Chain A
């Protein structure tokens, strides 16, 4: 990946305390997305039902 360290956008701002909780929430949301998709696709590809869980 090309980087340009001398350019003005490469500033270093210390992260505020809220940021780590924000990242935790977004990771949780991604986990939910992957889990729901995986589960519902598993059901569907096995002819068992599908989203949102109708059997």
Chain B
């Protein structure tokens, strides 16, 4: 079959966009579902949190499956299972069954690592940043588009939405199977397939640079999803008087204003992500290596420096958010949030511009580890944010006690001038097993 890498990028991006649309479609209709089944606030919270339950383990398995069976088959399986269950959920009348079905539909969120693996198998080292950025950034918009478009298209008729989303997912699954191709060459596909065993998985999981990238992604994407959940409540409580002074009143008014300020972070973090991939490519092309400690002679060293700069920026914006909050300045806080969203996008895009280059023979396993385990950070940060005596201090605590150590660890892990992926826990044993 004759194809082109841009066709593969379009298939992966569209498939990922649809998976994210399905992933967050439950949240988009949660008020309608709550009203239909007379749910309590607790039950509603459980329904909202269920979207993320399958992500950590699911992404690890999906990454391995993409290496083993190829991205088109894995992606088509995810789309068809989630699509079929989404259709079934449209006809469900029991809330318990609906809840279970929507947890299964939320598996769609694991498609991210499959697409990352697919794009990595087609694009070269000089353009991988932009290609992965376009895939991830455009696909991520599915989450926001779901919140914006679905309630307007379907009103409170969530059953019709679930039916259509599922039916179209089945069509995309067929498209992926017919036109998708796992890799640009049979040799590359065979190499990746050969390495997708338990030994290969343990190898990736024990590498310092893989752990550093996983933590960098926890510091960026983990922060992004944590802020999505945390910020509306933060603005409502931390800037109550300022929001009332803008002319908003009542719970609905506060919710609209706080939701708007929160959306700024999410929107910029998603839509600036392709630009980060482009910047990683630009650093690579220009050979920029401005940071101390981090390797300067590796073939992808400038990309390591771009990610290092992004981590510093995130830490800085976290501290600034605390300062803006303590000053009581709503305008400054929102401005810092814009900067934070952009910094987060720099790091998310920068991380996945590196993963396929560092682990070119195990892109799916590496993407699953880095993109999967890091999502658990989304649960941790809000607990710290809400734990202090002052609501504004949480960002500074996280920056000081988590982000500074993570950034230092990243600098340390990225210091090797030759093959950083060869250094890790139980280095000797793993390298001997690799050679065997």
Of all chain B residues, the one with the shortest Cβ separation from A37 is B264
A26 contacts B257, CB within 8 Å?
Answer: no
Take A19-B127, A33-B267 as given contacts and tell me if A50 and B287 are in contact as well, using a CB distance cutoff of 8 Å: no
Q: Which of B271, B290, B296, B338 has the most CB of A within 10 A?
A: B271
Take A3-B288, A22-B130 as given contacts and tell me if A30 and B297 are in contact as well, using a CB distance cutoff of 8 Å: no
Report chain A residues within 8 Å CB of B274.
Answer: 22, 25-26, 29-30
Q: How far is the CA of A30 from the CA of B141 in the complex (A)?
A: 12
Per-position contact with B for A33-50: 1 when CB-CB < 8 Å, else 0?
A: 100110011011111011
B248 contacts A47, CB within 8 Å?
Answer: yes
Report chain B residues within 8 Å CB of A32.
Answer: 271
Q: Which residues of B contact A (CB under 8 A)?
A: 5-6, 124, 126-127, 130-131, 133-134, 137-138, 141, 147-148, 246-248, 256-257, 259-261, 263-264, 267-268, 270-272, 274-275, 277-278, 284-290, 296-302, 331, 334, 338
A45 to chain B, nearest CB (A): 6
Take A4-B289, A9-B301 as given contacts and tell me if A22 and B256 are in contact as well, using a CB distance cutoff of 8 Å: no
Take A16-B127, A30-B271 as given contacts and tell me if A2 and B288 are in contact as well, using a CB distance cutoff of 8 Å: yes
Report chain A residues within 8 Å CB of B130.
Answer: 19, 22-23, 26
Q: How far is the CA of A30 from the CA of B148 in the complex (A)?
A: 18
A29 to chain B, nearest CB (A): 5
B133 contacts A26, CB within 8 Å?
Answer: yes
B8 to chain A, nearest CB (A): 11
Q: How far is the CA of A51 from the CA of B247 in the complex (A)?
A: 16
Q: How far is the CA of A11 from the CA of B138 in the complex (A)?
A: 29
A33 contacts B268, CB within 8 Å?
Answer: yes
Q: Which of A3, A16, A45 meets B331, CB within 8 Å?
A: A45
Of all chain A residues, the one with the shortest Cβ separation from B334 is A41
Q: Which of B141, B256, B277, B285 meets A54, CB within 8 Å?
A: B256
Per-position contact with B for A1-30: 1 when CB-CB < 8 Å, else 0?
A: 111110111111101101100110111011
Q: Which of A3, A26, A30, A45 has the most CB of B within 10 A?
A: A26
B260 contacts A4, CB within 8 Å?
Answer: no
B267 contacts A50, CB within 8 Å?
Answer: no
Of all chain B residues, the one with the shortest Cβ separation from A7 is B297
The 4 closest A-B pairs by CB, nearest first: A47-B247, A50-B260, A33-B271, A26-B274
A44 contacts B268, CB within 8 Å?
Answer: no
A41 contacts B260, CB within 8 Å?
Answer: yes
A13 contacts B126, CB within 8 Å?
Answer: yes
Report chain A residues within 8 Å CB of B264.
Answer: 37, 40-41, 51
Q: How far is the CA of A11 from the CA of B248 in the complex (A)?
A: 56
